Amino acid sequence: MLTRRLLVVTSVVGLLGGAAGAVGGALVLAAMSLVAGSPLHGLLQPAFFGVAGLIGFVHGAVLGPVLTWALMRDVPLWRAIGETAVAASAVAAVVMFSGFSLIAASAGAFAAALLAAGRLKFSARRKARAELPPGPG
């Protein structure tokens, strides 16, 4: 019973992480393209959003459950997924627009998600300590 629940929760976190990564990847790449001066009609091509979304989905679906279970068990799920997805998408877009390869962008996305997860874990731990009642004395 516990195994089934664990699989369901992990699957949901993976799907939510994938969805957040897909949206984040497409939106951040679209914004970066506008800043770089690309014409808007090029942004409306389904392939543009499809590739960015697919890459973001894969990163989010893989990193979401791993980072959530490993580092962010005390962090609200919406923050664990949302903030790591935004950080990963932003760094991957910057790396890609800087002329580096997809592998470099993936490594950057992983590093950004890991740093965001670490910051969230530290923030949650600090908040939990602040909410403890004062000790005797």
Report if residue 8 sits inside a domain. no
Report if residue 73 sits inside a domain. yes
Report if residue 4 sits inside a domain. no
Those residues with Cβ within 8 angstroms of residue 108's Cβ, 6 or more apart along the chain or in another chain: 91, 92, 94, 95
Q: Which domain holds residue 117?
A: 15-129
pLDDT greater than 70 at residue 4: yes
Report if residue 5 sits inside a domain. no
Copy the structure tokens of residue 59.
């990163």
Q: Compute the distance between CA of residue 60 and CA of residue 19 in angstroms, rounded to an integer.
A: 7
Percent of the chain with pLDDT over 70: 86
Number of domains the chain contains: 1
Lowest pLDDT segment from 9-13, 32-36, 87-91: 32-36
For the chain, helix (H) and strand (E) counts, in that order, are 5, 0
Report if residue 7 sits inside a domain. no
Report if residue 136 sits inside a domain. no
Those residues with Cβ within 8 angstroms of residue 105's Cβ, 6 or more apart along the chain or in another chain: 55, 91, 92, 93, 95, 96
Spell out where 4-131 has E strands: none
Q: Which residue has the higher pLDDT, 37 or 113?
A: 113
Report if residue 80 sits inside a domain. yes
Report if residue 79 sits inside a domain. yes
- Longest CA–CA span in the chain (Å) reads 68
